[in-house]
Amino acid sequence: MDKEIEALWRKEIKRQNQGIELIASENYPSMDVTKTCASIFMAKYAEGYPGRRYYGGCENVDEVERLAIERAKRLFGAEYANVQPHSGSQANCAAYHAFLKKGDKILSLTLNDGGHLTHGSPVSFSSQDYDFAFYPLGEDGRLDYELIAKRMEEEKPNMLLAGYSAYPFEIDFKKLREIVDDYNSKHDVHCYFMVDMAHIAGIVASGLTQNPVTYADVVTSTTHKTLRGPRGGLILSRDASFGKAIDSAIFPYSQGGPLEHIIAAKAVCFGEDLKPEFKEYIRRVLENTKACNDELARLGCVVSGTENHLFLLNVLDSFGINGKQAQEKLGQIDITVNKNMIHGDTLKPAYTSGLRIGFAAITSRGASKEDAIEIARLIFDCLKDPEFDIIEGRKKVTDISSRWQDVTNLTF
Ligand code: PLP
């Protein structure tokens, strides 16, 4: 083994095992998923799709990819699935390309309210290739469906985009479909409805929230967040007739050879997510997230509330510090979080007024509701007290994390 990499690898295992990982976009896959990522499927070139490859020797990877597609379709009730996107961003790039022409307009959530870079950030390909317009959240920090309908009339988009990176509440996809249908019939046009469910895909798979596949024309996702799969992307549709355009938007338009080892690991992950135990896991994620949010509220903090795997903590109003300072302070005691803009934020993205806190990762390790409450108290003490004892704080974190499974050896 390469000594330099091995040393860093050991340090990372230690960091992840000792710490409390609360970054809402991260998770720990099962050992089966991890092992499959290192399988020899890695060595195989398989440009194209099952039964239509540009290389010989694809009989086994064809079966792997068919299995991944079939399981993805079953998991989400889709008529079409593409399991080749290397990441969520690649999936979004391909979905836009399959449905739109360069310069077409996409109506998406104001980025500071919880959108992703690929949803129209000036530094992303998305805003350079497409014309983005935005809808803000309502006063209460929730989606305002009347306002979205109004913005549709004002902007006349070719696509409405929903699904976010930092939105703690349920999304009414049925209502959004109705808004798009009403708009289309009123103007005799065809605006598409796309959902990027990267964050909530696991909750969707568990059946504990509305399934966007039932309502959207196209649904994109990552596979490494609440789904607990390998790092990668996924595209789904309820309408198989969109399949040809989406397939060619992935290969050959935006990607080359698919990562068949990752596709094999996606198949393992989808197989795990189809089991009843996965629904129980997601139920615990939701319970833990709410327990931490509610305990912080009880202690007097300004929190968003939550209906999914994450919530936002307003550290400026709660503790008089910004998100960057809060992230760094918690980092000193091995609690990993990320600073995040909150609705109506007055600070710049480099500082922010908030933290985004999620429970998917540590719940995979076995964190309980009691642990979540203890973590809330620790976060509160650490951020409230400028003289907080860092050594003591780190000890408390290790006490809590040592109750959980080793990150390198997780059972499903
Ligand atoms: N879409 C959403 C809503 C996300 O939150 C993210 C990542 O956090 C992505 C897409 C991009 O995924 P990736 O990092 O795999 O490109």
- pLDDT, tens digit, 9 for 90 and up, residues 132-142: 999 999 999 99
pLDDT digits (tens, 9 = 90+) for 71-101: 999 999 999 999 999 999 999 999 999 999 9
Q: What is the mean pLDDT of residues 361-382?
A: 98
pLDDT of residue 311: 98
Assigned token pair, 119: 């949803």
DSSP 8-state assignment for residue 56: S
Cα 25 to middle of ligand 1, angstroms: 8
Structure tokens at 289: 């997230």
Phi, psi torsion values for 234, nearest 5 degrees: -160, 140
For a ligand 1 pocket test, name from 90, 118, 218 the mutation site with the most ligand atoms within 8 angstroms of its C-beta.
118
Terminus-to-terminus CA distance in the chain, angstroms?
A: 28
In percent, the amount of the chain with pLDDT more than 70 equals 100
Residue 411: predicted pLDDT: 82
Q: What is the pLDDT of residue 171?
A: 98
The CA R_g of the chain, rounded to the nearest whole Å, is 21
What angle is formed at CA 134 by the lines to CA 129 and CA 137, rounded to 5 degrees? 150
Q: Are 22 and 397 in contact (CB under 8 A)?
A: no
Dist. CA 232–CA 29, nearest whole Å: 12
What is the atom index within ligand 1 of the atom nearest the CA of 233? 15
> What is the pLDDT at residue 231?
98
Cα dihedral 30/31/33/35 (nearest 10):
170
pLDDT higher than 80, residue 412: no
Distance, CA of 143 to CA of 145 (rounded, Å): 6
**For the whole prediction, is pTM greater than 0.75?**
yes
Query: Is 324 considered catalytic here?
Result: no
| Residue 59: partners with Cβ closer than 8 Å, 6 or more residues away | none
Helix/strand/coil percent split, the chain, to 5: 50, 15, 35
Which domains, ranges and CATH numbers included, belong to the chain? 31-273 (3.40.640.10), 277-401 (3.90.1150.10)
